[in-house]
């Protein structure tokens, strides 16, 4: 069961009772998503890979907020987007609609997700011109693809509530799906995570965190570790 919660910036999130944690920060769902994934992630990737389609892999599609903000930004700036979200336990369409996230993106962006959510759980769907979404229902450790992405949004539940998502093995498994030069962003930063990323050929940046967190992590893939 998931319970609707209002966060400190006025935006909503859902509380996952089985995990015991919110899908987004209690200090501000919208603020966190914009700060970590759009400003530190997507905008940085666009600058790093100019004049091309951007491909994103999100670990933890959840409420779809990161996707909505990403597609809104790419649509506004006429940047083609291919977006793959991993979600072992997809929310019901009614739960997505309950979040109120329609207020934060253009109407056509919101409608494109709501009208195509069910299809996207089955196959890749073009929502708007040059904007594609696929939601893969699987556990992260079982996910495989030949595709290599420009950017990974790592938005799993916290290590306190879902430690299996933050092991060295899972980090290495996830990072194999990035292209050389690809970017990994997450709201968290720990010594263990930094060491795991460095061991698979990444450089690490500590950035100011979203409200409620002092720092966040951005990493860039510089080598392919076999």
pLDDT digits (tens, 9 = 90+) for 62-81: 999 999 999 999 999 999 99
Tell whether the model's pLDDT for residue 1 goes beyond 90. no
Does a structural domain hold residue 22?
no
Does a structural domain hold residue 20?
no
For the chain, strand residue ranges (E) read: 2-6, 12-16, 21-22, 54-59, 81-86, 125-128, 131-136, 149-154, 178-186, 202-208, 215-221
Supply the pTM of this predicted model. Answer: 0.96
Does a structural domain hold residue 226?
no
CATH number for the domain harbouring residue 117: 3.40.50.150
Percent of the chain with pLDDT strictly greater than 90: 96
Number of domains in the chain: 1
Does a structural domain hold residue 202?
yes
Tell whether the model's pLDDT for residue 138 goes beyond 70. yes
Does a structural domain hold residue 131?
yes
At what angle are helices 168-175 and 191-199 packed, to 10 degrees?
50
The per-residue pLDDT of the chain, averaged, comes to 96
Please report which confidence band the pLDDT of residue 226 belongs to, taking 50, 70 and 90 as the band edges: low
pLDDT at 50: 85
Please report which confidence band the pLDDT of residue 31 belongs to, taking 50, 70 and 90 as the band edges: very high
Does a structural domain hold residue 165?
yes
| Structural domain range at position 215 | 28-221
The torsion of the CA quartet 77, 102, 61, 43, rounded to 10 degrees, works out to: 20
Does a structural domain hold residue 109?
yes
Please report which confidence band the pLDDT of residue 225 belongs to, taking 50, 70 and 90 as the band edges: low
pLDDT digits (tens, 9 = 90+) for 152-206: 999 999 999 999 999 999 999 999 999 999 999 999 999 999 999 999 999 999 9
Tell whether the model's pLDDT for residue 224 goes beyond 70. no
Percent of the chain with pLDDT strictly greater than 70: 98
Does a structural domain hold residue 18?
no
């Amino acid at each position: 069961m998931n319970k609707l919660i209002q966060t400190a910036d006025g935006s909503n999130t859902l509380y996952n009772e089985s995990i015991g944690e919110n899908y987004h920060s209690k200090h501000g769902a919208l603020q966190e998503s914009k700060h970590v994934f759009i400003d530190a992630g997507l905008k940085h990737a666009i600058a790093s890979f100019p004049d091309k389609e951007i491909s994103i892999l999100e670990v933890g599609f959840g409420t779809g907020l990161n996707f909505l903000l990403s597609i809104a930004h790419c649509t506004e700036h006429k940047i083609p987007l291919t977006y793959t979200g991993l979600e072992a336990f997809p929310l019901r369409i009614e739960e997505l609609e309950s979040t109120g996230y329609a207020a934060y993106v253009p109407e056509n962006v919101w409608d494109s997700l709501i009208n195509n959510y069910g299809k996207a759980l089955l196959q890749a769907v073009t929502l708007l011109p040059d904007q594609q979404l696929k939601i893969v229902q699987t556990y992260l450790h079982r996910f495989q693809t030949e595709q290599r992405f420009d950017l990974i949004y790592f938005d799993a539940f916290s290590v306190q509530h879902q430690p299996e998502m933050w092991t060295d093995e899972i980090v290495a498994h996830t990072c194999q799906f990035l292209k050389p030069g690809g970017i990994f962003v997450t709201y968290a930063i720990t010594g263990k995570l930094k060491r795991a990323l460095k061991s698979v050929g990444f450089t690490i940046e500590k950035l100011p965190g979203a409200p409620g967190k002092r720092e966040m992590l951005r990493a860039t893939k510089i080598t392919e570790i076999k």
